[in-house]
Each structure stands twice: as C-alpha cells, then as structure tokens.
Amino acid sequence: MLKKYLLLLISLLCLLTMLVAGCSGKQAKGDMQSLKLGVMPDIDSVPIIIAQEKGYFSEEGLQVEVQQFKSAMDRDAALQSGNLDGAISDLLAVAFAKSGGFDVNATSFTAGNYKLIAGKSENINTPKELVGKDVAVSKNTIIEYVTDQITVSNSMKEDSINKVVIPQIPTRLEMLQNGKLAAATLPEPMGSIAVANGCHFVTDSEQLGINPGVMMFTSKSLKDKQNEIKAFYRAYNKAVKYLNEHPQDEYIDLIIQKSGFPEIAKTALKLPVYHEAGLPSEKDVADCMKWMHTKGLIKQEYSYKDVVVDLFN
C-alpha cells in the first residue's frame, strides 16, 4: 500500500513539474533549438550583442549564433539559403522575400536611424541643396526608401538627385569621407562617424517620424522554433533594460569589439533610448508597401497581417 501511495505521489509531482514548466512559457535548456541570426553594422544589433555577452540568452536556455553582414543583399541571400532563422532587417526586405515566394514575417520594430549626410567640402544644410548632386544609396533597400521619403517631404522630385548605388555600407562611408560623393544615406553609427570625421548632418528618418526597420524570421522558424523566438525576445528585453540603466561608457568598448564599428564610434556615437520589443506601426507598413508598389517592386500591396506576426499576445 505504501509503495502504491509513493508511486502516486511521484506521478503527481512529475505532473506538477510539467504544468509549471508549461505555464512559465520556457522549455528545459536541453529542449531548446539554437537560433541563427543575421545582423548588420548598425545600432539595431546592440541589444542582441548585449544579450549574447551578458548571458541573457543562456539564462533563457537558448543558444544564439550571431552572423555579421556588411550588405543587405548578402544578409538576405543567407536567409533564403536557409543559413539563418532570422535577421535584423526592414519592411522592404520582408515584402521582397514574400514577392519572391520566400515566406518571412516581421516580428518587431528595431531602433535604427538612417541619416542623410553631406560631404566635408559640401556647403549643404538642407536636402534641396542636393539637387543635381551625387547621393549614395543601396538600391531598392531601406536606404533608398528613406532617401525618397526625404525628397518627397521636401517637395523635391525623385529624380532631382543623382542616386549612386553603393551596396556596402563601409564603402559608402569611405567614399563620402574621401570627397567622392556630395552626400550619402547611412545607418547609425556610420552617420555619426561621418559627422565626427568632418561631414555634415542634413536630416534623418527620426526627423521624418518613420521607422521601417524590423526584426524578421522565416515562416519555417516561426513554426518550428516559436518557443525559441519568444525566449530570444525575453533575453532581448533584458538587454534593453540593461542598456537603459547603464551609462554607455560601461559597454561601448564591448559593442565596438563585437559589432565591427570603427574605433571612432566610441566618442562619435550616442546610442538611442532602446525600447522593449513591440510590433511595427501600421502606418510604417502601409507607407513602405505603397512605395514599393508604386515603384513596381512588388505586384501587390501586402496588408499588415500579411507582413507582421504578433508573438507578444
């Protein structure tokens, strides 16, 4: 009889353990699959670097492999070849992938800011002063989108500037600093680095009130690794809390070392106030889809539900 009660007690304890694990939303460490994420040399990657280096992913029982890319084209190729589960990206890349038959979804906004910077020798303070001049962009990307939004908001015709296509961000920065371009649109921290090196700030996406940057994951990963992605966001939010509670001096050396930012970023860059993971705005999605459809880059304007998956409710 005692043996029977002991077996019953053990069974009840096992059931209780399973229920507690289920309610917490976490898996045992051994059950977690790894995530492979692609990042670019911009400030969006900072919370991910902090989460990795401070052990927040490990606290969630998650192993994350972070891969660095210098161009959006290389990042997207890695994603579509199955070498990545997700990436720091933008709404345009999501729509391009969908249009090409590769299903991905945006899962959260990012903290990116994209700056229009004029060269050292250019006496330029407003976008209108760039009419007829060479402005470096990466074609059919968030960089070109922001550049076009800048021209539209300043009542300029799209063809009033001469867009020079330079996909690699470091090359774009170098050519601008060497006086080979009148201006360039750059992500942070490259925009601030250019200014620190004598170039001139003109305007940016923050002043326009737009934020097309997102974190995206493949539909396969969203299906097969949803618990892992939710664990990723719990760790991400811990990193955001750390960033907002500690002075930049405490971690900037680590960020420079792990992100590939130039050393000058240590003094040139002022990181933004980061926010816990949340969904992109409906306006940002609609505006991006309209721009892409108008330019003939996609055949249809995808709806918000087509583009965004809500993992937070």
Q: What is the pLDDT of residue 140?
A: 87
Angle 91-99/142-153 helices, nearest 10 degrees?
A: 120
Q: What is the pTM of this model?
A: 0.82
Indicate if the pLDDT at residue 244 is higher than 60: yes
The tokens describing 105, both together, are 């979804």
Give the position of tokens 């029982």.
61
- Which band of pLDDT confidence, cut at 50, 70 and 90, is reported for residue 141? confident
The torsion angles phi and psi of 39, rounded to 5 degrees, stand at -130, 160
pLDDT at 221: 96
Taking CA atoms, 111 is separated from 3, 21, 146, 180, 293, in Å, by 59, 32, 15, 29, 25
User: 179's torsion region: left (phi>0), alpha (psi -120 to 50) or beta?
Assistant: left
The C-alpha atoms of residue 103 and residue 69 are separated, in whole angstroms, by 21
Question: What is the rounded CA–CA span in Å between residue 108 and residue 293?
Answer: 23
**φ, ψ of residue 163 in degrees (nearest 5):** -75, 125
Domains and CATH numbers, the chain: 32-111+212-307 (3.40.190.10), 114-208 (3.40.190.10)
**What pLDDT band is residue 25 in, cutting at 50, 70 and 90?**
very low
pLDDT digits (tens, 9 = 90+) for 194-219: 999 999 999 999 999 999 999 999 99
Residue with tokens 């420079």: 256
**CB–CB of 136/172 below 8 Å?**
yes
Supply 101's token pair. Answer: 């038959």
Within 8 A by CB and 6+ apart from 137, the residues are 143, 144, 147, 163, 164, 165, 166, 184, 185
Given a contact cutoff of 8 angstroms between Cβ atoms, the answer to whether 103 and 60 are in contact is no
| Phi, psi angle pair for 13, to nearest 5° | -65, -40
